[in-house]
């Protein structure tokens, strides 16, 4: 299977098998899409990806990781329609990542309480997360359906339901974070109700008008968290329900261990510079306990993802450490339907076009992860910025 061959994702025909993964863009002033966000995704579409993912579109105002993020409401549709039109004009498809940040949400920034399966302290906002009641769960589930309908109205070709990184649905899956004793806690079947319910609500809302993906944690990367054996079972249930057209396999906890997903250098000082005291000082002194460094290697999630490929028949998206053509070819040879890339494309938005022309093209990304702290000022590759300021040529 050729990574540059056309591929069907549910009802959508994509021009190739490379997806621009969701990375919060830091370009959503007023919690809506403006020219900066439109241009960000237009550049990636022009650069050759089959589909670019807008990250992320919260389904409720308290579901944002901070207040500038888009939350799906009628007022957000016009700007998003401009974005999808721009992406389509470049020959690519557009996907909206929808979800609720749950305990990862910054209640102080949102000026709304963050919600999770159980009460806990959010280490980022230093505020308490409130345990969601049944009414909260039902409202958030319905909000996923409303967000998906708005995505259709805005011209998106797909939605990606966020079931990872200890966001709302993922936090319910986690035995470490979910200490409930009601119908949403205890057994895996109970802990999976939120995730499976959100997927069902979205599918019922959109039918086959657009594609539906889910981003699912294979493991949280924290002791006592959601682990691969349970994730495999949840994936089987999603396949059984027929609610999603593909699974994008991810890992890590934005709440407890964010670098477990990214691998490579841990830019602690750069993160600290974006916070006010005392959080800034705390990060500089003890940030290594939260922002841990993991060695980078190509396709670092592949070993875990292979177990999902062996257990499932549905299309899978391989994520994590994909920056070379050889890695894409390996993924195709092992039966993955798509690959998702992020950091390499931040460095070189036109990387896919150049790889198509010359398979020997190598990514310039060095996995320093200094792009991650730029989410507060507009997500970008700082090394590319340095090259531009020095007058060097950087591919566009």
Active-site annotation holder among 167, 184, 296, 300? 167
| The 3-state secondary structure of the chain, one letter per residue | CCCCCCEEECCEEECCCEEECCCCCCCCHHHCCCHHHHHHHHHHHHCCCCEEEEEEEECCHHHCCCCCCCECCHHHHHHHHHHHHHHHHCCCEEEEEEECCHHHCCHHHHCCCCEECCCEEECCCCEEEEECCHHHHHHHHHHHHHHHHHHHHCCCCEEEEEECECCHHHHHHCCCCCCCCCCCCCCHHHHCHHHHHHHHHHHHHHCCCCEEEEEEECCCCCCCCCCHHHHHHHHHHHHHHCCCCEEEEECCECCCECHHHHCECCCHHHHHCCCCCCHHHHHHHHHHHCCCCECCCCCCCHHHHHHHHHHCCCCEEEECCCCEHHHHHHHHHCCCCEEEECHHHHHCCCHHHHHHHCCCCECCCCCCCCCHHHHHCCCCCHHHHHHHHCCCCCCC
Annotated catalytic, 167?
yes
- Catalogue the active-site residues: 167
């Amino acid at each position: 299977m050729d990574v540059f061959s056309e591929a069907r994702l549910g009802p959508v025909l994509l021009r190739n098998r490379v997806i621009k993964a969701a990375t919060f863009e830091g370009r959503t002033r007023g919690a809506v899409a403006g020219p900066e966000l439109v241009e960000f995704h237009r550049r990636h579409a022009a650069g050759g990806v089959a589909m670019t993912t807008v990250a992320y579109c919260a389904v409720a105002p308290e579901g944002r990781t901070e207040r500038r993020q888009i939350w799906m409401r009628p007022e957000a549709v016009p700007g998003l329609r401009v974005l999808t039109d721009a992406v389509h004009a470049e020959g690519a498809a557009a996907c909206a990542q929808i979800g609720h940040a749950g305990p990862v949400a910054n209640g102080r920034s949102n000026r709304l309480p963050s919600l999770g399966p159980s009460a806990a302290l959010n280490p980022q906002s230093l505020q308490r997360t409130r345990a969601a009641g049944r009414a909260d769960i039902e409202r958030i589930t319905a909000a996923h359906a409303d967000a998906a309908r708005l995505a259709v109205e805005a011209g998106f070709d797909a939605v990606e339901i966020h079931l990872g990184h200890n966001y709302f649905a993922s936090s319910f899956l986690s035995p470490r974070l979910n200490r409930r004793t009601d119908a949403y806690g205890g057994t895996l079947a109970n802990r999976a109700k939120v995730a499976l319910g959100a997927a069902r609500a979205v599918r019922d809302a959109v039918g086959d008008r657009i594609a539906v993906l889910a981003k699912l944690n294979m493991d949280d990367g924290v002791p006592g968290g959601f682990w691969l054996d349970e994730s495999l079972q949840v994936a089987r249930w999603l396949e059984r329900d027929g609610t999603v057209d593909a699974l994008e396999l991810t890992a890590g906890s934005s709440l407890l261990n964010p670098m477990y997903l990214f691998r490579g250098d841990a830019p602690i000082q750069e993160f600290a510079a974006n916070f006010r005291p005392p959080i800034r000082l705390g990060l500089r002194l003890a940030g290594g306990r939260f922002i841990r460094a993991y060695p980078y290697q190509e396709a670092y999630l592949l070993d875990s993802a292979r177990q999902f490929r062996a257990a499932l028949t549905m299309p899978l998206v391989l994520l994590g450490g994909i920056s070379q053509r050889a890695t894409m070819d390996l993924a195709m040879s092992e039966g993955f339907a798509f690959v998702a890339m992020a950091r390499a494309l931040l460095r070189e938005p036109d990387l896919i076009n150049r790889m198509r022309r010359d398979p020997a093209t190598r990514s310039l990304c060095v996995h320093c992860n200094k792009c991650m702290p730029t989410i507060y000022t507009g997500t970008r590759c700082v090394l590319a910025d340095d090259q531009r300021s020095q007058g060097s040529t950087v591919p566009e």
